[in-house]
Amino acid sequence: MAVLLKGSVKDLDGFSVTRLLPHMKKRMVGPFIFFDHMGPADFLPGEGIDVRPHPHIGLSTITYMLDGSLLHRDSLGNNLEILPGDVNWMTAGKGIVHSERETLEVQTHRHTLNGIQCWLALPKAMAEIEPSFHHIKRAQLPHFIKEGITKRLIAGEAYGMTSPLKTYSPMFYLDVVAKANKTITRPTPEQECMIYIIDGKLTIGDNQYQTGDAVLLEHEQHMVTDRYSRFLLLGGENWPEVPRMYWNFVSFDMARIEQAKQDWIQGKFPTIPGDNQEFTPLP
């Protein structure tokens, strides 16, 4: 029977987010070890997202915008704005620093923001790879469009499609829009799968779910839209061992996390060109 996962509200540098993973009922789904819904929120001029430089190790981040934009900067020298439908895929590996802010043009106007950020744990053998960053425009992502259903593959493999993003373990991540009374089949049924409903209502098995619900599928193979709906499908192969996580650090070795903590305190991580005047302290 499908399991409903209720999110918790967290503060992210003065901005509230809804956190679905890790969850007390399920710490990770496939390689997905972290899932935040940022917004939806409306900001007055001078307000908005301002996440100061902070470090990561042992994971990849996926930022996917539903509305609004974010300015990404990192210690590799990347400096670009992500727009709705685009994807930022940042692999921290042995260590990277990035910030998430807003452009001057966005800050000076009333604006909205609505987006999803996920972290994917790196397999143990790849935890210390060189950091990298890829920005993919929405038009470059595979789409399946048929009979009132549109599926966009953000990352991984599903429904015969393969995303251009390089992943490090079997997984899928999709944005689905469907009209009322449409049946969507679960992707790669041998893998774990979570549904997050952005808008609409879905019937799964004998139960109905609505906007804001996250649902972990068990043996269910189909979902039916009760009205126009938009939802995310994400998952991958089950991980028999769940890595440790402290703040922005993920590792199977607690000693590696302790080292990362000391490296951040001592200023040993690389800095961000053009954004090195402040930082997020270790909690």
Q: Please give the Cα distance from 277 to 270 (Å, whole number).
A: 13
The pLDDT of residue 107 is above 80 = yes
pLDDT at residue number 12: 67
The pLDDT of residue 87 is above 80 = yes
Q: Following DSSP, what letter does each residue of 189-229 receive, concatenated?
A: TTSEEEEEEEESEEEETTEEEETT-EEE-SS--EEEESSSE
pLDDT at residue number 68: 96
Task: Write out pLDDT tens, residues 150-170.
Answer: 999 999 999 999 999 989 999
Q: Please give the Cα distance from 115 to 81 (Å, whole number).
A: 13
The residue among 180, 176, 175 whose CA lies nearest residue 228 is: 180
Q: Is 49 left (phi over 0), alpha (psi -120 to 50) or beta?
A: beta
| pLDDT (average), residues 57-76 | 98
Read off the amino acid at residue 39. Answer: G
Q: Which two tokens stand for residue 260?
A: 């990362």
Residue-range domains of the chain with CATH: 3-236 (2.60.120.10)
Task: Write out pLDDT tens, residues 242-257.
Answer: 999 999 999 999 999 9
The DSSP element (H or E) to which 263 belongs, if any, is helix 254-265
pLDDT at residue number 78: 98
Q: Please give the Cα distance from 72 to 25 (Å, whole number).
A: 32
The pLDDT of residue 61 is above 90 = yes
Q: Please give the Cα distance from 34 to 43 (Å, whole number).
A: 25
pLDDT at residue number 10: 82
In the chain, pLDDT over 90 holds for what percent of residues? 95
| pLDDT (average), residues 9-38 | 89
The pLDDT of residue 1 is above 70 = yes
Residues 6+ apart with CB under 8 A from 160: none
| pLDDT (average), residues 211-239 | 97
